[in-house]
Amino acid sequence: MKFISKLKNIHFLSLMGTGGMSLLTFLFTAILYRSLSIKEIGIWFFFQALLSFLDTFRQGFLTTAFVKFYAGASEQKGQEVIGSTWYIAALITMFLLAINIPLLFFSHFSTDESLAFFIKYYAINLLCSLPMVVAMCIAQGGLRFDTLLYIRMSQVLLLITLLVTLNILHLNSLQNLMMANIAATLLTSLLTLFMGWSGISYFFRKQKDCIREIFDFGKYTVGTSISSSLFGVTDTFVINFMLGPSSLAIYNLGKRLMEVVEIPLRSFVATAMPSLSKAYNSGNKKEVIEIMKKYIGTITICLFPVLVVAYIAAGLAMSIIGGGQYNNTPAGDTAINIFRIFTTFALLYPADRFMSVALDAIHRPQINFMKVIVMLVVNLSADFLGVYLLGNVYGIVIGTFFPTITAIGISYYYINKDFKKFSLVNSYLSGYRELARFVTMGLKQAKNLR
């Protein structure tokens, strides 16, 4: 029973959610690369990258702010936060729709297939996902990572089922894949409404003060949320418009393997924000820093052996995802090399992510916003310089190192200057001590069971 109860903790459920999602995404990608041409796959990834980036303005604006004001709130306050979040989410959605709809009349003038495809289908995807986005905010704010798991996996499972059906019926095409994506998103949103997860019944509980509170906080925290996707979308734009959709498909094949890093990062970032916010709200600066250091150190140390294995097995993983048609081909070899370059500096990612979350938790979201702007300039400069010098996707991959270093430097400086001094090196030692304590406890429990 103790073992079962441990499996129900928020860290495990969050890890299961992101891990399960990533495994399903792997499966979807493997089927996708066997269903469409490499050019069509490039167009699809361009659409998904831009859709994810623009939707980050909605999710990023809401998620962290929602957790901040919902966690630990009274029942009445919680309902006001949900209603106010629905109101802001609807306004952001209508604003983005108002921008996109006029572009539909000019999409056929676009000479770029990827851009025209995005303009055509962006609005309907945005609208269909609205209830699902709010439901995920509520699930995370209430630490209901089981509900979050159901929502995320429902959408991907539906999409995979529809894609497999299209393949069986020999109807696989880019247009039909988009119809399947819209259907999966809409059905998942309807599920959240039917199950009561979306909280739409509290829409009229919104309050002006609460809306202003969430808005004022969210306008800065959106910077943290877009920090990971912003650079991906700039990379996508540079590759698509300078090297073509086929190069984008190869780049994404290599980058897809980086899910071995993103799985633990996304899951633990989701649990870090409530813990850090609780410590900050209680006025315990030392605890805030200790929590942050443990996350940085523990995740970094745990990632190291995973990355070593992933580096060695990159060829096998690529053949599983991309299929045999990429084995021993220039495209396949490039994808493997892209992944291996990424792994060489992936150990820096935990420090970047968890210091960014800590800045939000200690009410310094404006620093994250400023940091993202600086990172964007650095990333774009590195992308263009990389493509100019090397003339291929390797220039993009190598260029991603520089904004990561920039982010770590800015976050480290401001946390030490404005909040409390700490050592990044000591963070790794703190992570080591935490892991050692965990292993020691596990050994003692195993010994007692004998």
pLDDT for residue 184: 94
CA distance 365 to 357: 9
Cβ contact 247:335 at 8 Å: no
Q: What is the pLDDT of residues 76-88, one digit of tens each?
A: 887 888 888 899 8
Sequence-separated (6 or more) residues with CB below 8 Å from residue 110: 116, 119
pLDDT for residue 3: 42
Higher pLDDT among residues 222 and 293, named by residue: 293
Q: What is the pLDDT of residues 293-302, one digit of tens each?
A: 888 888 888 8
Q: What is the pLDDT of residues 21-33, one digit of tens each?
A: 667 777 888 888 8
Mean pLDDT of the 335-360 span: 86
Give the amino acid at 39: K
Question: Is the confidence at residue 14, as pLDDT, over 60?
Answer: no
pLDDT for residue 159: 92
Nearest to 267 by CA among 63, 11, 39: 11
Q: Cα–chain-centroid distance for residue 138?
A: 17
Per-residue pLDDT band for 165 (boundaries 50, 70, 90) equals: very high
Per-residue pLDDT band for 1 (boundaries 50, 70, 90) equals: very low
DSSP letter string, 49-70? HHHHHHHHHHHHHHHHHHHHHH
Mean pLDDT of the 414-424 span: 87
Burial class of residue 75 (count of CB atoms within 10 Å of its CB; 0-12, 13-18, 19+): exposed
Q: What is the pLDDT of residues 257-271, one digit of tens each?
A: 777 777 777 777 777
CA distance 354 to 265: 9
CA distance 366 to 360: 9
Q: How many CA atoms lie within 13 A of 161 on its CB side?
A: 10
pLDDT for residue 221: 66
Question: Is the confidence at residue 246, as pLDDT, over 80?
Answer: no
CA distance 232 to 210: 33
Question: Is the confidence at residue 332, as pLDDT, over 80?
Answer: no
CA distance 331 to 437: 45
Q: How many CA atoms lie within 13 A of 263 on its CB side?
A: 22
pLDDT for residue 4: 45
Per-residue pLDDT band for 185 (boundaries 50, 70, 90) equals: very high
Per-residue pLDDT band for 178 (boundaries 50, 70, 90) equals: very high
Mean pLDDT of the 157-183 span: 92
pLDDT for residue 230: 66
Q: What is the pLDDT of residues 97-153, one digit of tens each?
A: 888 888 888 777 777 788 888 888 988 999 999 999 889 888 877 777 778 888 888
Question: Is the confidence at residue 8, as pLDDT, over 70?
Answer: no
pLDDT for residue 334: 81
In sign, the C-alpha dihedral spanning 29, 34, 38, 44 is negative
Cβ contact 70:82 at 8 Å: yes
Q: What angle do CA 45, 378, 53 make, to 5 degrees?
A: 30
CA distance 395 to 406: 18
Burial 333-372 (b: 16+ CB within 10 A, else e): bbbbebbbbbbeebbebbbbbbbbbbbbbbebbebbbebb
% of the chain surpassing 70 pLDDT:
88
% of the chain surpassing 90 pLDDT:
12
Q: What is the pLDDT of residues 369-405, one digit of tens each?
A: 788 888 888 888 888 888 888 888 888 888 888 988 9
Query: Which backbone phi and psi does 422 adopt, to 5 degrees?
Result: -155, 165
Per-residue pLDDT band for 38 (boundaries 50, 70, 90) equals: confident
Cβ contact 120:173 at 8 Å: no
Burial class of residue 433 (count of CB atoms within 10 Å of its CB; 0-12, 13-18, 19+): middle
Mean pLDDT of the chain: 81
Higher pLDDT among residues 146 and 359, named by residue: 359
CA distance 308 to 301: 12
Higher pLDDT among residues 448 and 305, named by residue: 305
pLDDT for residue 346: 84
DSSP letter string, 318-380? HHHHH-GGGTTSHHHHHHHHHHHHHHHTGGGHHHHHHHHHHHHHTT-HHHHHHHHHHHHHHHH
Question: Is the confidence at residue 278, as pLDDT, over 90?
Answer: no
